[in-house]
Structure 1
Amino acid sequence: MLTVEYLFLWFLFYSFCGWVYESILVSVQERRPVNRGFLNGPLCPIYGTGAVLGVVVLGEVRNPILLFVISAVGACLLEYVTSWAMELLFHARWWDYSNFPFNLNGRICLYGALIFGIGGVVIVDVVQPEVARVTAMIPIMVIHWLFATLFALTVADAIITVIGIIDLEDSLERFKAVAARYSGAMRERVGDMVDGASDAFGGAFNGAPGRFGDMVGESLRSGKQMSSELMVRLRETADSVFNRQQRRMIASFPKLRTVRNNETLEQLREAFRQLRRGDGRR
């Protein structure tokens, strides 16, 4: 039992390290703070799972080249299976390497394999011995309490997250329907700018990518009544249709793609980018 408790605590440690790495990387890419955790807590479970598997399976491997190769291949296999399973469960793909060279179905890529290979060598040969030494210094009773408390919190977090995002596709459908109802009223209230922007808001989810966001940007720059009207409507609609978990996922995973309503998701994401720029200019 003690071994299981140690493994779980190591899993949390490496999941937290993965969260830090991913949050910094994506925040730099997006030029805004991004909480990259899949769970509500600061954890990226795929990193913790990969690291603990590496420690258990490769702990006795002393050849760094062999360790690198096995770590790279094993991590890519884990990432591919995880991507496939999550797409099957949630009808969405959470990351996409299609723009990277030497990728396989956008689920894994050579760049990631190299990073994971190096990471495996560093974890097994450098980091894990120190982690094991520190955890061995913690009193057994404290280990028991830490395990029981953190395990319960992690399981509860996972359940809340899964329940919250399982119907993301249905929420996107509802968003399109609610947005469409605004278009008629907005046409009657303001002139041509509203007519074009409300068309984008209510109907351009099935049009060319970026049109909705472009119209939001035009209305923001125009300084007309449409700016505040559309901004309020958009935020109210998103807040009412998407639950907290879904809003968090959309913000945390810029490469998130859905099976049925990906164009709607892209339009919504682009509109929020335009709105953030508009807020920044005020």
Structure 2
Amino acid sequence: MIILEQLFLWFLFYSFCGWVYESILVSVQEHRPVNRGFLNGPLCPIYGTGAVLAIVLLGSVRNPALVFVISAVGACLLEYATSWAMEKMFHARWWDYSNFRFNLNGRICLIGALVFGIGGVTIVNVIQPQVADVTAMIPMQMLHWLSVACAILAAIDTVVTVAGVVNLEDSLGQLKATVSRYGDAMRERIGAVGDAVSDASGKVGETWQSGKDMSMELMLKVRDAAGSMLNRQQRRMIASFPKLRTEHNNEMLQQLRDTFEKLYRGR
């Protein structure tokens, strides 16, 4: 029981480290603060899972080169499987390495494998011995209560997140229909300015290609509609995952990003 509780705390620790790493990396890439992570709390569970697996499976391996290779390959398998499973569950692609050389279906890439390999060696040989010493100092009673409390919080966070995100496609579809109606109404008001608003067939994308021509009034309406039709979890995912793509309403999602960016920059 104690070893399971320690493993769970290690999982939380490395999930937090992964969240810090991802948040800094994506914030630098996007030139804005990004609160990275699928859950509401500061955790990236895929990192915690990978780290704990490395600790359990490679803790007794003394060859750094072997640890590197197994960590790189194992982490890529985990990342690929996670990407595929989340896409099937939520009908969305959460990250995409298609712009990186030597990628596999955009789910994993060579540079990521190298980073994971180095991370595996660092965790197994450098960080984990120190982490194990610290957790061994926690009194048994405190270890029990800490594990239970953290497990309850993590479970609640997972349920809230999944419940909020599962209908993302439907919410985007409703938003697309609403924006199309806004465009039709404005079209009747200001005349046939096809590239400023959506056309009568509801193809939002054709009219949003030229963002500079979209009126400020329409962009503000889009922002307000998104705020009311997308719940907090969905809005957070759109902000946290710049590469997020959906199966059926991806055009709406990308054009929504463009609108937010133009409003943020004041056009």
TM over 0.5: yes
Gaps of 5+ in 1: 220-225
Q: TM-score, normalised by structure 2?
A: 0.95
Q: Is the alpha carbon distance of 1:198 and 1:72 closer, same or farther for their aligned partners in structure 2, counting shifts above 3 Å?
A: same
Deviation at 1:137, TM superposition (A): 1.0
Matches within 5 A, 1:36-51: 36-51=36-51
Deviations 1:25-76 (A, max 9, x none): 0001111111111000000000000000100110000000000000000000
Matches within 5 A, 1:96-245: 96-190=96-190, 196-199=195-198, 203-207=202-206, 212=208, 214-215=210-211, 217-219=212-214, 226-227=215-216, 229-245=217-233
Residues 238 and 244, structure 2, Cα contact 8 Å, conserved in 1:
yes
Q: Is the alpha carbon distance of 1:129 and 1:201 closer, same or farther for their aligned partners in structure 2, counting shifts above 3 Å?
A: farther
Secondary structure at the counterpart of residue 248 of structure 1: helix
Q: How many residues align?
A: 267
Residues 1:2 and 2:2 are matched in the alignment: yes
Q: Is the alpha carbon distance of 1:201 and 1:80 closer, same or farther for their aligned partners in structure 2, counting shifts above 3 Å?
A: farther
1:85 maps to 85
Q: Using the alignment, how far apart are the partners of 2:11 and 2:80 within structure 1?
A: 20
2:253 maps to 265
Deviations 1:227-281 (A, max 9, x none): 2x223311211011111111100110011111111111111112211111117xx
Residues 83 and 94, structure 1, Cα contact 8 Å, conserved in 2:
yes
Q: Is the alpha carbon distance of 1:126 and 1:105 closer, same or farther for their aligned partners in structure 2, counting shifts above 3 Å?
A: same
Q: Using the alignment, how far apart are the partners of 2:10 and 2:108 within structure 1?
A: 25
Q: Using the alignment, how far apart are the partners of 2:245 and 2:74 within structure 1?
A: 25
Q: Is the alpha carbon distance of 1:60 and 1:120 closer, same or farther for their aligned partners in structure 2, counting shifts above 3 Å?
A: same
Q: Using the alignment, how far apart are the partners of 1:256 and 1:113 within structure 2?
A: 21
Deviation at 1:141, TM superposition (A): 1.2
Q: Using the alignment, how far apart are the partners of 1:233 and 1:71 within structure 2?
A: 48
Gaps of 5+ in 2: none
Q: Using the alignment, how far apart are the partners of 1:213 and 1:239 within structure 2?
A: 22
Deviation at 1:202, TM superposition (A): 8.8
Deviations 1:78-99 (A, max 9, x none): 0000011111111111111111
Secondary structure at the counterpart of residue 251 of structure 1: helix
Alignment RMSD? 1.8
Secondary structure at the counterpart of residue 197 of structure 1: coil
| Mean Cα deviation higher: 256-265 or 44-53 | 256-265
Q: Using the alignment, how far apart are the partners of 1:38 and 1:202 within structure 2?
A: 35
